A and B are shown apart, each in its own frame.
Chain A
Amino acid sequence: MEPTVGSATVFGESISKLKKPEYRQRFGVLTDNSGLYKRMTVYENLKLYCELYGMPLSKINEVLESVNLQEDRKKKVSALSKGMTQRVLLARTLLHAPELLFLDEPTSALDPVNTRHIYKGLRALNEKGTTIFLTTHDMEEADTLCDRVAFLNKGKIQLMDTPDQLKKRYADGTMTVELKNEEKVVLSTGTEDAQVLYEFMKNGQVATIHSNEPTLGDIFVKATGRVLA
C-alpha cells in the first residue's frame, strides 16, 4: 500500500525500500488473504517457500512441529480444515525465521489447544529475536502475547503502552474481597480500607481477593467509546 501522509522506517530504512527483494528476506507477513496451492500437499507448499527463501528443507519439519502439523505433511491442502490451513500459512511465514513478522489475526479459526501451541511457538520466536507485529481483535490474545499494545481507532493510535501499564492507568483503585459466607465486598486498594481488610483476614473470613483491574477490552471501550467487533 502506498503511504498517503507521514513516514515510517523499518530496519533503519524508509518503508519504500521494503519493496526490494533483498529486504523481503528479512520480514514475513501473514494476512487474512494469504493463500496456499490447494492441489499440492502441505510439504510441497512449504518446499516451494523454502527454496524461494534459500532455506534448507530441514526447516519444514521444524516449522510443522511449531504449528503441531507434523503428521499432516503429506495431506493435500484442499483436504485441510480452515484451522489447519491457517496453521500451514503460519508455518510458511515462520520458515525463514524473519527478523520482523506481521501477523493479522493468526489464531482466528483455531481451537484453544492449537491456539496455545501457536502462542508457545510465537513466544519462542520472539525470544530468539524476531519482532512480531500482531493485529488482533482478541484482547485476551493481545494481553497474553504482546509486550506493548496500541489501540487503533479510525486510523489513529489512541493509546499505546504495555498491557500492565494500561491496566494500572485505567484501574479504579478497588479490589473485591469474597468472604467465606459468599458475600462480596468492594474495598479501596488505598490505606482507607486497610483496617477493614485486616479485620477480615484476622477473623479468617477471606475466601478470595481480586484486584478490579480492567481488561484490555474494557480499556479499549473506555478509550475509544467504541464496542469491540
Chain B
Amino acid sequence: MNESIKRVNAIFQKDFKDFSRNIAVSVVLFMPLFVAALYGRMGVDTLDAHYMIINLTFAMVATFVQCCLIAEEKEQNTLRGLMLSPASTFEILSGKSLLTFVLTILVIVAGALLSEYQPANLLIVSLAIVLSSFFYIALGTLLGLWAKSVMEASVIILPVLGIFSFGSFLLPLAEKYPVLKVVEYLPSVQLIEIASKVENGAGFSETAMQFGIIFIWTAAAGALTAIIYKKRMMD
C-alpha cells in the first residue's frame, strides 16, 4: 500500500469513527430507507418513484452528509491541519469523499432492495449511479467549503435538495414555461432518462448522451471544488 493510499485510508477511517459518533448527521441515512420501505410496503413500483428515492439519497447522503463533514472540518479548524499535512489536495478530497461514497452506494442498494427495484440492465444503471454520486459528492464538498459552519451548511443544502431531488417534478410545466426546459439537463433527470431507456432495452450507445451530460456536471463540480479548496488554503 503506497503512501497516498495510506493517507486516503487514514482520513476515511477517521471520518468513519467521527461520523458514527455524530448522531445529528448520521440519522439522515435512514430517511431514504424509510421512504423506500414505505414504497415497498405500499407496492409503489414506478420508475419515477424508485428514482425519487435514489435522487433523495443523493441529496441527503451524498450532498448533505458530505457538506456537513466538510463544513465541520472548517468550523473546528481541523481542515487547516489536513491542508498543512503532507497529504495532497487529491488525497484529502478523496479521503474526505470516500465515506460518503460508500454510504451513498450502501443506502441506494438497501433502498432498492426495500422498494424492490430491479433495473433491466444492472451494469448501465450502476455506472450511472456511481457517476452521479461523484457529482453529488463534489457538490456537497463545494457547499461545505462555502459554508462557514454546519448550521449554515444545513441551510444552503435546502435549494440543492429541492432542485436536484425534485427537479424532475417541474418537467410537466416546461411546455408552459420554456425556461424550465433547463431542468431536462439536470443530472437527476438524466439519470431517470438512462433508467427509462434501459427499461426499453437500450444499451451504452443509446445512453451515451445522458452519461455525457452527467459527466460534464461532475467534471464542472469537481473543477470548481478544487479551485475553491485551493482558495481556502490561503488566509
Interface residues of A (CB under 8 A from B): 1-2, 19, 21-22, 24-25, 29, 31, 33-40, 44, 47-49, 51-54, 92
Contact A92 B21 (CB under 8 A): no
**Alpha-carbon distance between A130 and B187 when the two chains are bound, in angstroms:** 52
Q: In the complex, how many residue pairs between chain A and chain B have their CB atoms under 8 Å apart?
A: 65
What's the minimum C-beta distance from A77 to chain B, rounded to whole angstroms? 10
Interface size for B (C-beta < 8 A) is 26
Establish whether residues B86 and A39, one from each chain, have CB atoms under 8 Å apart when the complex forms. no
Q: Chain A contacts of B9 at CB under 8 A?
A: 51
Q: What are some 14 contacts across the A-B interface (CB < 8 A)?
A: A21-B88, A22-B86, A31-B80, A35-B78, A37-B18, A40-B18, A44-B14, A44-B17, A48-B10, A48-B14, A51-B7, A51-B9, A52-B7, A52-B82
Q: Mark B3-35, 1 if CB is under 8 A from A, else 0.
A: 100110111011001100110000000000000
Query: In this complex, what residue of B is CB-closest to A77?
Result: B76
Q: Which of A2, A21, A44 has the most CB of B within 10 A?
A: A21
Given contact pairs A39-B22, A44-B17, a sample of 6 additional A-B residue pairs in the complex whose CB atoms are under 8 Å apart: A19-B233, A24-B85, A29-B84, A34-B77, A39-B18, A48-B10
Tell me the minimal C-beta distance from B155 to chain A in angstroms.
22
Nearest opposing residue in chain B for A31, CB measure: B80
**CA of A143 to CA of B234, assembled, Å:** 32
Asked if A24 contacts B86 (CB within 8 A), the reply is: yes
Residues of B within 8 A of A37 (CB): 14, 18, 76, 78
> Hey, what's the 0/1 contact readout for B75-95 against A, CB within 8 Å counting as 1?
011101110111110000000
Q: Give the shortest distance, in Å, between B3 (CB) and chain A (any CB).
A: 6
Per-residue interface assignment for chain B, residues 56 to 91, with 1 indicating a CB less than 8 Å from any chain A CB and 0 otherwise:
000000000000000000001110111011111000
Chain A residues near B18: list those with CB within 8 A. Answer: 37, 39-40
Known pairs A34-B81, A35-B78, A54-B6; A2 contacts B11 (CB<8 A): no
Chain A's nearest CB lies how many Å from the CB of B193? 41
A33 to B78, CA, bound (A): 9
Q: CB of B175 within 8 A of chain A?
A: no
Tell me the dominant secondary structure on chain B's binding face.
helix
Minimal beta-carbon separation of A2 from chain B (angstroms):
6
Complex CA–CA separation, A225 to B200 (angstroms): 83
- Inter-chain CA distance A36–B81, complex, in Å, is 9
Closest to A89 in B: B81
Task: State the Cβ distance, B93 to closest chain A Cβ, in Å.
Answer: 13
Q: For residue A53, which residues in chain B have a CB less than 8 angstroms away from its CB?
A: 85-86
- Name the distance in Å between A85's Cβ and chain B's nearest Cβ: 11
Contacts of A47 in B (CB 8 A): 10
Q: Which of B6, B21, B77, B85 contacts A49 (CB 8 A)?
A: B85
A33 adjacent to B77 (CB under 8 Å): yes
Say which residue of B6, B81, B233 sits within 8 Å of A92 (CB atoms).
B81
Tell me the bound Cα distance from A34 to B234 in angstroms.
14
Contact B17 A35 (CB under 8 A): no
Q: Which residues of A contact B78 (CB under 8 A)?
A: 35-37
Tell me the bound Cα distance from A40 to B11 in angstroms. Answer: 13
Q: How far apart are the CA atoms of A36 and B75 in the complex, in Å?
A: 11
Using CB atoms, name the residue of chain A closest to B10. A51
Tell whether A51 pairs with B81 under 8 Å between CB atoms, given A19-B233, A37-B18. Answer: no
The answer to whether A48 touches B80, judged by C-beta atoms less than 8 angstroms apart, is no
Residues of chain A within 8 A (CB-CB) of B3 are 54
What distance in Å separates the Cβ of B1 from its nearest Cβ neighbour in chain A?
11
Chain A residue at smallest Cβ distance from B90:
A21
CA A43 to CA B235, docked complex, whole Å:
29
| Closest CB in chain B relative to A61 CB, distance in Å | 19
User: What is the bound-complex CA distance between A34 and B18, given in angstroms?
Assistant: 18
With A39-B22, A48-B14, A51-B7 as known contacts, state yes or no: A2 contacts B88, CB within 8 Å. Answer: no
Q: Which residues of B contact A44 (CB under 8 A)?
A: 14, 17
Given A1-B234, A37-B78, A92-B81: A52 and B86 interface contact (C-beta under 8 Å): yes
Of the candidates A1, A19, A31, A40, the one whose C-beta lies within 8 Å of that of B17 is: A40
